[in-house]
Structure 1
Amino acid sequence: MVTLVSCSEDEEPNISDEIVGKWQLIEQLLDPGDGSGVFKEVDSDKTITFLSNGTYTSNGSFCFLDAQNEQESSGSYDPDKMTIAPGNCPIDGGPSKYEISYKIEESHLIISYPCIEPCAQKFKKIE
């Protein structure tokens, strides 16, 4: 009689699979410059939808920290680097591409913008 036993370590969830879907903005962090900033609830319909092909679409811009959903946008994301590359953004007076970082923490998507003081948006998955 032969008995085989196999043990496997608990695997980390695959971040590229975890991010795919539709997320809605629920909170923003805008630090006043003294380190006291905390996430605060926002009333916004801004969403971002990550597709499995490495692209995203949104009903709001990701060029700047903005809770409005007045401008549709799209771009790409890299789950290995955990970055989002919005489409051309008017930075420094002309179109430019830059990357913003993201992480998934306690089932929330946190997108961090390149601000002098900490600034970020928190999203919850809705689809």
Structure 2
Amino acid sequence: MKNLLFTGALLCALLLNACKKDDQTTGEIYGKWILTEQYADPGDGSGTYQKVKEFKTITFLPTGETMGDVFEPLTRFKVLDSVRVEITTKNVNQPLIYQYKVTAKQLILNPPCIEGCGLKFKRVK
């Protein structure tokens, strides 16, 4: 009887843990994001992320189109693999390759910069 109760409790705990959402799981880039922090480095490796004063949004659609005001001349994007995304803008003739990391709640974009730079976004529901 004790074995049956222990097995039942263990099974319930496993099921509850499996249903729990994990913020660290890989998510998709698609959806609406709000810019929360920007990384800036003066070129000596001492840069840090700073909270933005004005929140801007960007939406990545499965069609490759974008909307929002983070990159105003941004027109299209294409996911190249699990860490790189190609971004096309109206102001640059050729696409730019950004490094990215996405979880269920956060997106980090690193533009091609000589010194360190980056953008942190929070997913909008």
Q: What per-residue deviation string (whole Å, max 9, x for no partner) do you get for residues 26-52 of structure 1?
A: 100001122111100012232111122
Select 2:113's aligned residue among 103, 109, 115. Answer: 115
Note if contact 1:22-1:49 (Cα within 8 Å) is conserved in structure 2: yes
Cα deviation per residue 1:38-84 (whole Å; 9 max; x = unaligned)? 100012232111122343323232xxxxxxxxx35321231624333
Contact 1:75/1:84 (<8 A) preserved: no
Secondary structure of residue in 1 paired with 2:70: coil
Q: Residues 99 and 79 of structure 1: is their aligned pair in 2 closer, same or farther, counting only changes over 3 Å?
A: closer
- C-alpha spacing 1:106/1:36, structure 2 compared with 1 (3 Å): farther
TM-score by length of 2: 0.66
Task: Tell me which structure has the larger Cα radius of gyration.
Answer: 2
Query: Hey, what's the Cα distance between the residues in 2 that align with 1:40 and 1:21?
Result: 23
What is the DSSP-based 3-state SS (H/G/I as helix, E as strand, rest coil) of the residue aligned with 1:102? strand
Larger helix fraction of residues: 2
Indicate the residue corresponding to 2:36 in structure 1: 26
Unaligned runs of 5+ in 2: 1-17, 19-23
Structure 1's unaligned 5+ residue stretches are 1-9, 62-70
Identity %: 35
Cα distance in 2 for partners of 1:84, 1:56 equals 13
Aligned to 2:50: 40
8 Å Cα contact 1:56/1:77 also seen in 2: no
Greater than 3 Å deviation, 4+ residue runs: 12-15, 88-91
RMSD: 2.6
